[in-house]
Each structure stands twice: as C-alpha cells, then as structure tokens.
C-alpha cells in the first residue's frame, strides 16, 4: 500500500503553569465533574471562548447601568433641592400673608367689620378652590407623584 498516504491531523498543544494550590483545585473540580484534567480544562477554555463576547457585553451593560444610576441620583438631588427651595418660598409667603391677615383682623374695630372680613376670607378661599379646574388638578397630582415617590 505504497499509494496510501496518511493525513496528518493537526493537534496543537497548549501549556500553562499553575500554582500548586490551583492545580489542587483543578484536580478536585475535574474529579467532581468525572473528567480528566485535560478534558475539564478543554471544556472550560472552550466555554470561555464561546462566551467571551457575552462577558464583555455584560461589563458594558454594568457600566451603563452604573452611569444611569449616577445620573438618576443627580436628577433626584436636583429635584429635591428645587422642592426644598419652593417649599421655603411658600413658607415665607405664608408667613407674610398670615401677618397681613392678622394686621387686617386687628384693624377691624367693630363686630360688623370682623364679620365682613371673615366673609371676605371665606369668599377668597372658595375662589381659590374653584380656580383649580380639572386640568390643573391632574397636573398637580402628577407632580405630587413625581416629587413624593
């Protein structure tokens, strides 16, 4: 059979060096898997190569999620800061209106003037309640949900 030529099979050899502790861990893992050391390493290396792109993508997704979290925290801080400022302005305005209310009440010298003042206060309160129509109430509710959640 001089015409038969054998095809040579290319089987490259890969070598690496591990510490004694890592070799012991490798032997234990291969034993638990019921494989030889070479088969266990081959399977692990092939899995890693097959999943390398997924691992890189996972790192990118983690970095993106971290950036989104950081940006969200900054936005929440800005909203809370603005809310604090608005609440402070409203508190000062409320104190000023309360002062004017008290001064006006004290200036009412007669019981009839006090009755007229009380009626005017009630009318003003009712007008403010009626001023918020359905659209304004909806916007107020949406804003409240954003600020309080």
Q: At what angle do helices 134-148 and 37-107 cross, to 10 degrees?
A: 130
Read off φ and ψ for residue 140, nearest 5 degrees. -60, -40
pLDDT exceeds cutoff 80 at 16: yes
Mean per-residue pLDDT, 56-76: 90
Mean per-residue pLDDT, 68-95: 92
- The residue ranges of every structural domain in the chain are 108-149
Cα atoms in the 13 Å half-sphere on the side-chain side of 1: 3
pTM of the model: 0.43
- Taking phi over 0 as left and psi of -120 to 50 as alpha, with beta for the rest, 113 belongs to alpha
CB atoms within 10 A of CB 104: 13
């Amino acid at each position: 059979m001089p015409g038969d030529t054998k095809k040579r099979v290319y089987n490259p050899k890969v070598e690496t060096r591990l510490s004694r502790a890592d070799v012991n861990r490798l032997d234990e893992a291969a034993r638990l898997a019921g494989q030889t050391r070479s088969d266990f390493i081959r399977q692990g290396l092939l899995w890693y190569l097959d999943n390398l792109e997924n691992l890189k993508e996972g790192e990118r997704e983690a970095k993106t999620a971290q950036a989104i979290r950081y940006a969200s925290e900054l936005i929440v801080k800005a909203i809370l800061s603005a809310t604090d400022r608005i609440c402070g302005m409203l508190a000062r305005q409320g104190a000023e209106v309360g002062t004017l209310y008290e001064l006006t009440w004290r200036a009412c010298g007669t019981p009839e003037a006090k009755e007229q003042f009380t009626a005017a206060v009630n009318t003003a309160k009712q007008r403010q309640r009626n001023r918020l129509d359905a659209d304004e109430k909806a916007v107020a509710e949406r804003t409240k949900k954003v600020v309080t959640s």
